[in-house]
Chain A
Amino acid sequence: MKAFYYSVLVLLVLSVIGVVFSILKSSKKKNSEVNNSDLKKFIDLH
């Protein structure tokens, strides 16, 4: 069990890092997102 616990503990630390970065990402100013809404644009892209 000890080996299992330590391994899960590593994953717990990584999960906390993941949550922190997700929050940081949310707090940043929104990037300009590119929208495609019609078929003409889709065809042009392809």
Chain B
Amino acid sequence: MKDELAKNSKFPHPYFCSHPKWRYFILTTVLIGATMSALDVSIANVALPTIQNYFHTSLSNVEWVAMAYMVTLTALLPFFGRLADMYGRTRMYNIGFVVFTIGSALCGAAFSITMLAFSRALQAIGAGLLQSNSVAIITDAFPKEELGRAIGLQGAVQATAMALGAFLGGAIVSAIGWRYIFYVNVPIGIIGTFMAMLVLPKGIAKKKEKIDYAGAILFSISLLAFLFALNKGSSYGWTSSIVITLFGITIICLPLFFYNEIKNKTPMIKLSIFKSWGFTVGNFTGFLSYLIFFSVLFLMPYYLEMILHYDPLVTGTLLTPIPVAMAIMAPIAGYVSDKVGRRLVTTSGFIVILLAIFMLLLLQPNTSFFFVTLSMVVLGLGMGLFTPPNNSEIMLSVSPENRGVAGGILNMMRSLGLAVGVDVVGLVFSNIHYNYIHLHFHELSYSAYKHLWGNYQLFIKTIPRIIVVVLL
């Protein structure tokens, strides 16, 4: 069969289809895309203050560089997944590599903050095409007895990229300038594109179906409005007319989207996939895990800097054990889940996450450095234990022709977990913190507090985004 396949024109290079480890060539190709997008987000966010100074622009303007990426990516993921289901995952994946590489080059060459924000949006389109297909391609390539291991390896590589990204970004910005944090993607993207052309089978157009533009537009508008409302709620006020209008748009567009999906013969998201308990609950628990994870990354700098009085460098170092522990645990979890079953491992993973949160409740103003590090390690181990088998389970619970859209939804949950987590926990935190200061420190004027809080928000807002959309 191998010879027959080697001659098959759908497989670009005969070497890769006749090799006994053909699956691992595919995995490696997918990992290049995953590493690139993981590195990019970490690296890019580290450079935001430098970019702000370079263009002499305001914080709200430079925030668009991060926002344009996150919002575009989140809103388009399921749509791209659907396109991949219709037109072939490899084709969409290859286009993703090319678009991401061009977007990176344009980011590096940006002559204004507006061009940079638009180029980041273009990058996000490329990243969306890569992300919505990466898990689906791995799921298609591996038998379910080995899938946990493959997705675990993917998680490990991404967590390593996430851990290295911030350091690399800092080094590149200080050594050769911020433009090179984007240019660094260009050679990686070119290698990735050639690898994908050599290793992945050529895309075959599936049966022609009508694209559900109405569904895609309604879904994107409702999600965009929701994300903007969450993002702007803390600065404009949750009862401000802008935020209420944005929530209103979500409330109107979301039911219209569901109505359209029910009525449409070729919907963007086949709602029947939610009948699968594994898919629905897997996505819900995945969303919760990311919400908790990003919320901890949001809260810890407060504790470390304002209670323990560590400087930002120590704070960053103390957060590093999380991705390191994830990188170590993810492949182990994948391997174990292939042996003992995914559900036992995902449940154990969430119990470890719960343990980590319980440890955070025990933190005191005089807690030792060791205990703080240990709690971060436990959180990383919990996330590493939970995520790979949960992702495998989600992907295996849908039929192969729906894996693109399933991969898109899975990745979208990560971004939603970040957005909802940071804003909901941030809301609880800031309200109590504000009341506490007014109750106990009357001498601290509101303007001084606002200044302090503003600086703090600037710092912590960059941290979750460093790690954002990443874990892919």
Residues of chain A with a CB closer than 8 A to B397's CB: 31, 33
Q: Could you tell me if B360 and A36 are in contact, using CB atoms closer than 8 angstroms? A: no
Chain B CB count within 10 A is highest, among A2, A22, A28, A31, for: A22
**B173 in the interface, Cβ–Cβ < 8 Å?**
no
Selected contact of A16 from candidates B285, B289, B354, B432, CB within 8 Å: B354
**Minimum CB–CB distance for A38 against chain B, Å:** 8
Q: Could you tell me if B89 and A46 are in contact, using CB atoms closer than 8 angstroms? A: yes
- Give A9's nearest chain B residue, CB to CB: B361
Residues of chain B with a CB closer than 8 A to A42's CB: 26, 140-141, 201
Q: How far is the CA of A17 from the CA of B285 in the complex (A)?
A: 9
Q: Could you tell me if B350 and A15 are in contact, using CB atoms closer than 8 angstroms? A: yes
Q: How far is the CA of A12 from the CA of B17 in the complex (A)?
A: 48
Q: Could you tell me if B10 and A21 are in contact, using CB atoms closer than 8 angstroms? A: no
Residues of chain A with a CB closer than 8 A to B396's CB: 33-35
Q: How far is the CA of A2 from the CA of B295 in the complex (A)?
A: 16
Q: Could you tell me if B361 and A21 are in contact, using CB atoms closer than 8 angstroms? A: no
Given contacts A1-B365, A26-B347, A39-B17, contact A6 B428 (CB under 8 A): yes
Given contacts A33-B396, A42-B140, A45-B140, contact A11 B357 (CB under 8 A): yes
- Give B439's nearest chain A residue, CB to CB: A2
Chain B CB count within 10 A is highest, among A1, A11, A26, for: A11
Given contacts A18-B288, A39-B17, contact A46 B344 (CB under 8 A): no
Residues of chain B with a CB closer than 8 A to A9's CB: 361
Selected contact of A25 from candidates B89, B281, B295, B358, CB within 8 Å: B281
Selected contact of B141 from candidates A11, A23, A31, A36, CB within 8 Å: A36
Selected contact of A4 from candidates B201, B278, B307, B350, CB within 8 Å: B307
Stretch at the interface among B220-228, B296-304, B459-467: B296-304
Interface string of B100-140 (1 = CB under 8 A from A): 00000000000000000000000000000000000000011
Q: How far is the CA of A9 from the CA of B429 in the complex (A)?
A: 11
Chain A CB count within 10 A is highest, among B89, B203, B288, B303, for: B288
Interface size class of A (residues with CB under 8 A): 35 or more
Given contacts A10-B424, A36-B142, contact A46 B299 (CB under 8 A): no
**B277 in the interface, Cβ–Cβ < 8 Å?**
yes
Residues of chain B with a CB closer than 8 A to A15's CB: 288, 292, 350, 353-354, 357
- Name the interface residues of B255-303: CB closer than 8 Å to any CB of A: 276-279, 281-282, 284-285, 288-289, 291-292, 295-296, 299, 302-303
Q: How far is the CA of A26 from the CA of B347 in the complex (A)?
A: 8
Q: How far is the CA of A17 from the CA of B291 in the complex (A)?
A: 12
- Give A37's nearest chain B residue, CB to CB: B143
Given contacts A7-B295, A18-B350, A25-B278, contact A40 B1 (CB under 8 A): yes
Name A's B-contacting residues (CB within 8 A): 1-12, 14-19, 21-26, 28, 31, 33-43, 45-46
Closest 8 CB pairs between A and B? A3-B433, A26-B343, A37-B143, A15-B354, A3-B432, A22-B347, A33-B396, A18-B288
Name B's A-contacting residues (CB within 8 A): 1-2, 5, 8, 10-11, 17, 22, 26, 88-90, 139-144, 200-204, 276-279, 281-282, 284-285, 288-289, 291-292, 295-296, 299, 302-303, 307, 343-344, 346-347, 349-351, 353-354, 357-358, 360-361, 363-365, 396-400, 424-425, 428-430, 432-433, 436
30 chain-A/chain-B pairs, Cβ below 8 angstroms? A1-B364, A3-B428, A3-B432, A3-B436, A6-B429, A6-B432, A8-B299, A8-B361, A10-B424, A10-B425, A11-B292, A11-B425, A15-B292, A15-B354, A18-B289, A22-B349, A25-B285, A31-B279, A31-B397, A33-B396, A33-B397, A34-B396, A34-B399, A35-B143, A36-B139, A36-B142, A36-B143, A42-B140, A45-B140, A46-B202
